[in-house]
Chains A and B, each alone.
Chain A
Amino acid sequence: MPDDVSLPIAEDFQPRIIAFFCNWCTYTASDLAGTSRMTYAPNTRVIRVMCSGRIDPQFVLAALRKGADGVLLGGCHPGDCHYQAGNYKCLRRFRLLKRLLTQLGIEEERVRLEWIAASEGDRVQKVTNEMVEQIRKLGPLRLEKIPTHPNGEAAPAPAEPMATATEGAVS
């Protein structure tokens, strides 16, 4: 895009990556990596979900909005989902989400989906390291700031024939 101004990446930039790992495979694999004393980049914050099918695309956007530079999703290999089809649902959402994010100016490498089985601790190590390096090259994610109105100015106090608030929306 002609308007993009590449800002320099600070030398001490440390990528922040939110990882959503499924309980049955990838989270167990990261546990295995830990108990096997494998070392890997400390840049991920892992959030355990019961299934990769539970990863709402809203979670990914919320992570990016709240300061993540990348989001890593991990689930069971195809055919291995504890709930049979959750990982396929994750895959379908992920493919569409990537298209959407690209349109919104977010590099597709910032979001990654990997199938990692419970026994593949070494793969957690490898994928995490790869992703951290990838994001390090891309630099921090700089989203557009959401404008908010100044809260200081309170609305004038209601007068007649106004209102006591009641519960529930008008339907």
Chain B
Amino acid sequence: MSKPKAGFYWCASCGGCEESVVDLAEAILDVVDAIDFVFFPVAMDFKREDVEAMEDGEMTVCFINGALRTSEHREMAELLRRKSQFLIAYGSCSYQGGIPGLANLYSRSQILDFVYGGSPSTANPEGNRPQPHFHAPEGDLELPTFDSEVKALDQVVDVDFYLPGCAPPPSLLKAAVEALLSGELPPKGSVLAPDKALCEDCPRIDSKPNEPLISEFKRPWEIEIDHEKCLLAQGLLCLGPATRSGCDHVCINGNMPCTGCMGPVSRVQDHGSAILSALASLIDSDDPQKIDDVLEGIPDPAGTFYRYGLPHSTLFAKCGITQGNGET
């Protein structure tokens, strides 16, 4: 019997998710023994035509990382959905919109105006803008169109499983591949990671006070961070209380607070406001003015609490960004 076929594709992505495959280290040999990669643009020379030539459902599994913002992303997601039996949203961007999803705080035209005009490093006196169609003497050229918002994968196509993380830890990827090969899969729509908060299995949990009251939020560069003590108790914005575990504590072990890349646990609908609720209630004051002073320590709440998931949040995007903003 031929080996099951797999694909690995990227949309709006940094390439870190591809790195996480390499991070499997020796285990990658078991993976390539067990499955055949038939599409993996970052590593292998297969083209879109090769995917189009496949039968529907020919790939057992396709992992897609990166958020979706262009017509190309959407077309590829739809194509790969058709050709795969299982589609896995791989990494924070594909799962929840990720860092690219923060672009939903700005309108399409604000972004284009800045990138092709306002940014300090731009020299564009003629005000040139990328065009989806261009007629050159050699022939017609086409560029993908730029959507009005960033979307997570499941806002474009049906997704079977989610593998969170920025990038997903190799241990979870390995477990997911093993589950796929053995057929012992959780219900459709599951997040393939433990369903508990990071604090629960944090190596520093014993030093977490029952109520780590915070009188000042500190940024990591402002203090000398204790290597053993609960980071929240040190005044750092650690999103562990409301973020899913399964990341192998790489940030905590690196003496940095959790930034929330694994997303929420299954009981939470809106990751950002769950973190907001957990952290704000710890502020050590009952006085509105003093509370506001402490909150000055969080200069960018939306960017902090929705760092990896604005498109998957209840509000999805800044209110009003698409009004009068048609797609081209």
Residue of B nearest to A155 (CB): B158
Instruction: With A61-B313, A78-B286, A155-B85 given, name 13 new contacts (CB 8 A).
Output: A2-B110, A3-B325, A92-B291, A95-B291, A96-B295, A103-B105, A103-B301, A144-B104, A156-B56, A159-B85, A161-B183, A169-B190, A170-B175
* Sampled A-B contacts (16; CB under 8 Å): A1-B107, A58-B314, A64-B314, A96-B276, A96-B279, A96-B280, A97-B280, A99-B298, A104-B315, A141-B319, A143-B315, A147-B151, A159-B85, A163-B183, A165-B186, A166-B185
CA distance A145 to B104 in the complex (A): 12
Instruction: Tell me whether B277 and A166 are in contact (CB under 8 A).
Output: no
Tell whether A144 pairs with B317 under 8 Å between CB atoms, given A91-B286, A100-B273, A155-B160: yes
Q: Which residues A79-100 have CB closer than 8 A to chain B?
A: 88-89, 91-93, 95-97, 99-100
Q: State the interface size on chain A (CB cutoff 8 A).
A: 58
Minimum C-beta distance from A102 to chain B (A):
9
Counting CB contacts under 8 A, is B124 at the interface? no
Please tell me which one of the listed residues A56, A58, A142, A170 contacts residue B323 in the complex, with CB atoms under 8 A apart.
A142
Point out the residues of chain A lying under 8 angstroms from B23, CB to CB. Answer: none
Q: Which residues B138-164 have CB closer than 8 A to chain A?
A: 149, 151, 154-158, 160
CA distance A53 to B85 in the complex (A): 45
Instruction: Tell me whether A149 and B154 are in contact (CB under 8 A).
Output: yes
Instruction: Tell me whether A169 and B281 are in contact (CB under 8 A).
Output: no
Instruction: Tell me whether B277 and A57 are in contact (CB under 8 A).
Output: yes
Instruction: Tell me whether B186 and A168 are in contact (CB under 8 A).
Output: yes
Counting CB contacts under 8 A, is B205 at the interface? no
CA distance A167 to B86 in the complex (A): 17
Residue of B nearest to A1 (CB): B320
Please tell me which one of the listed residues A100, A143, A162, A167 contacts residue B276 in the complex, with CB atoms under 8 A apart.
A100
CA distance A62 to B176 in the complex (A): 32
Q: State the interface size on chain B (CB cutoff 8 A).
A: 78
Point out the residues of chain B lying under 8 angstroms from A10, CB to CB. Answer: none
Counting CB contacts under 8 A, is B322 at the interface? yes
Stretch from B6-14, B127-135, B226-234, B264-272 that touches the partner: B264-272
Minimum C-beta distance from B112 to chain A (A):
11
> Beta-carbon contacts of B22-52 to A below 8 Å, as 1s and 0s?
0000000000000000000000000000000
Instruction: Tell me whether A162 and B183 are in contact (CB under 8 A).
Output: yes
Tell whether A147 pairs with B156 under 8 Å between CB atoms, given A58-B314, A142-B319: yes
Residue of A nearest to B322 (CB): A144
Residue of A nearest to B85 (CB): A158
Q: Which residues A86-128 have CB closer than 8 A to chain B?
A: 88-89, 91-93, 95-97, 99-100, 103-106
> Beta-carbon contacts of B167-184 to A below 8 Å, as 1s and 0s?
000001001100111011
CA distance A100 to B246 in the complex (A): 28
Which B residues form the contact surface with A (CB < 8 A)? 1, 4, 56-57, 60, 81-82, 85-87, 104-105, 107, 109-110, 149, 151, 154-158, 160, 172, 175-176, 179-181, 183-188, 190-195, 246, 268-270, 272-274, 276-277, 279-281, 283, 285-286, 288, 291-292, 295, 298, 300-302, 305, 313-325
Tell whether A95 pairs with B155 under 8 Å between CB atoms, given A61-B273, A165-B188, A169-B186: no
Q: SS class of chain A's interface: helix, strand, loop or mixed?
A: loop
Instruction: Tell me whether B301 and A100 are in contact (CB under 8 A).
Output: yes
Point out the residues of chain A lying under 8 angstroms from B4, CB to CB. Answer: 161
Residue of B nearest to A78 (CB): B286
Counting CB contacts under 8 A, is A11 at the interface? no
Instruction: Tell me whether A3 and B321 are in contact (CB under 8 A).
Output: yes
Instruction: Tell me whether B316 and A146 are in contact (CB under 8 A).
Output: yes
Instruction: Tell me whether B85 and A156 are in contact (CB under 8 A).
Output: yes
CA distance A56 to B314 in the complex (A): 13
Instruction: Tell me whether A95 and B277 are in contact (CB under 8 A).
Output: no
Instruction: Tell me whether B155 and A58 are in contact (CB under 8 A).
Output: no
Tell whether A61 pairs with B320 under 8 Å between CB atoms, given A169-B194, A169-B195: no
Counting CB contacts under 8 A, is A153 at the interface? yes
Counting CB contacts under 8 A, is A48 at the interface? no
Instruction: Tell me whether A89 and B281 are in contact (CB under 8 A).
Output: yes
Point out the residues of chain A lying under 8 angstroms from B157, CB to CB. Answer: 149
CA distance A163 to B321 in the complex (A): 42
Residue of A nearest to B55 (CB): A156
Counting CB contacts under 8 A, is A36 at the interface? no
Point out the residues of chain A lying under 8 angstroms from B286, CB to CB. Answer: 78, 88, 91
CA distance A166 to B60 in the complex (A): 18
Minimum C-beta distance from B299 to chain A (A):
10
Counting CB contacts under 8 A, is A4 at the interface? yes
Residue of B nearest to A110 (CB): B319
Point out the residues of chain B lying under 8 angstroms from A157, CB to CB. Answer: 57
